[in-house]
């Protein structure tokens, strides 16, 4: 293969957004090339049961679902490759994208579907029990803890929203807040404080998530007194934010202050003509597999129209 391969439609990332974009782009005969990135399948590969994706009546394991997506994209003719985009130059057409810090590609249209990563506390137990009672998505996994007690850590609007969501399913929600106040908006704080089955632990940090094979308690430490206490819970939710995987696009494309790529409302178009963004890298509101897949479809259709208008397809 020569040093610079020319690609009509390049898709960067391989979660529901990237694979759906590949399915639509392949069917439109755009001959898409998809690079899977560091975590083929994206965030769903670190979840276990997925029950809220339409079409899977009995639920499906996250990794298995991503295998289905990948196989479907491959069957349609998408060229799926293992590799990580490490640098981009969107300054001129065709766009240049470097893979694995060595090979440069040229692409007429680029769909960015690099997703986002949940921020974690950094505890060994949290990673070991991830998927076994530890989760970074209450909307995805709260259902499995109906009628049980859970803990949630975080102090922003998302944490407050997720605590309220869990309070409708669980007997009790223990909310661990690091400072003596929340960052959440006043209205969200009031809702949390006025919900009888949410107990807030102020000035508290998570010391350890306890449990052998599944979560059975969380040990917290009071920042002021140093006092520790164990709270028996079946689930532990981390809601301290997400980090969009957009670092390599810094300076090349418009983003908000958190690093989410800005798209024109109602489309996947970015401020660079011919570059599109789909999924969690541009969506900090919904962050669901089904919304990511929908935006992947939009990106492929937008890319097809763009290439057609430019006479490149």
In CATH terms, the superfamily for domain 4-117+243-309 is FAD/NAD(P)-binding domain (3.50.50.60)
Predicted pLDDT at 145: 97
| Separation between Cα atoms, residue 18 and residue 20, nearest integer Å | 6
* In the chain, domain spans: 4-117+243-309, 120-238
| Ranges of residues in the chain whose predicted pLDDT is under 70 | 1-3
Q: 200: which strand partners? A: 175
137 assigned to active site = yes
| Residues in Cβ contact with 235 at an 8 Å cutoff, skipping those fewer than 6 apart | 133, 134, 135, 141, 142, 144, 145, 148, 150, 151, 170, 215
CATH number belonging to the domain at 120-238, selected among 3.30.429.10, 3.50.50.60, 3.40.50.720, 3.30.70.940 = 3.50.50.60
The one catalytic residue among 137, 157, 207, 297? 137
Alpha helices in the chain (DSSP H): 16-27, 62-76, 124-128, 138-141, 157-167, 186-193, 289-309
Q: Which of 65, 81, 73 is nearest to 19 (CA)?
A: 73
Check 9, 58, 89, 140 and give the catalytic one: 140
pTM: 0.85
Tokens of 266: 């109602």
Distance CA 59, CA 74 (A): 23
Concerning whether 9 is annotated as a catalytic residue, the answer is: no
Largest CA distance in the chain: 68
At residue 2, the pLDDT reads 52
What pLDDT does residue 32 have?
98
Q: What is the pLDDT of residues 143-184, one digit of tens each?
A: 999 999 999 999 998 899 999 999 999 999 999 999 999 999
Instruction: Map residue 110 onto helix, strand or coil.
Output: strand
Q: What local confidence, expressed as pLDDT, does residue 1 receive?
A: 45
Does residue 170 carry a catalytic annotation?
A: no
Please pick, among 9, 108, 141, 280, the residue that the annotation labels catalytic. Answer: 141
Q: Which residues make Cβ contacts (< 8 Å) with residue 245, sequence separation at least 6?
A: 13, 37, 114, 115, 116, 117, 281
pLDDT score at 41: 87
Q: From CA 246, how far away is CA 154, in angstroms rounded?
A: 23
Using only C-alpha atoms, the chain has a radius of gyration, in whole angstroms, of 21
Task: List pLDDT tens digits, range 91-118.
Answer: 999 999 999 999 999 999 999 999 999 8
């Amino acid at each position: 293969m020569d040093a610079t391969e020319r690609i009509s439609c390049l898709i960067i990332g391989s979660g529901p957004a990237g694979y759906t974009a590949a399915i639509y782009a392949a069917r439109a005969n755009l001959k898409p090339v998809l690079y899977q990135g560091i975590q083929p399948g994206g965030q769903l590969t670190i979840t276990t049961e997925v029950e809220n994706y339409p079409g899977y009546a009995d639920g499906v394991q996250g990794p298995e679902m991503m295998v289905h997506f990948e196989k479907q994209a491959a069957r349609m003719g998408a060229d799926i490759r293992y590799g990580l985009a490490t640098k981009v130059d969107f300054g001129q057409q065709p766009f240049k994208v470097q893979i694995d810090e060595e090979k440069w590609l040229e692409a007429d249209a680029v769909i960015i579907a690099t997703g986002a990563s949940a921020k974690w506390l950094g505890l060994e137990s949290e990673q070991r029990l991830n998927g076994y009672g530890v989760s970074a998505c209450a909307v995805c996994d709260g259902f499995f803890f109906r009628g049980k007690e859970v803990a949630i850590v975080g102090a922003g609007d998302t944490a407050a929203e997720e605590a309220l969501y869990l309070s409708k399913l669980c007997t009790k929600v223990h909310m661990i807040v690091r400072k003596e106040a929340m960052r959440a908006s006043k209205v969200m704080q009031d809702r949390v404080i006025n919900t009888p089955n949410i107990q807030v632990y102020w000035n508290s940090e998570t010391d350890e998530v306890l449990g052998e094979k599944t979560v059975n308690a969380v040990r917290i430490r009071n920042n002021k007194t140093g006092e520790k206490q164990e709270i028996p819970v079946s689930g532990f939710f981390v809601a301290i934010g997400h980090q969009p995987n957009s670092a390599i696009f810094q300076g090349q494309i418009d983003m908000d202050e958190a690093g989410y790529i800005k798209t024109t409302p109602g489309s996947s178009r970015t401020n660079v003509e011919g570059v599109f963004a789909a999924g969690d890298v541009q969506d900090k509101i919904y962050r669901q597999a089904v919304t990511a897949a929908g935006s992947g479809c939009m990106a492929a259709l937008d890319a097809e129209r763009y290439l057609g208008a430019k006479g490149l397809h």
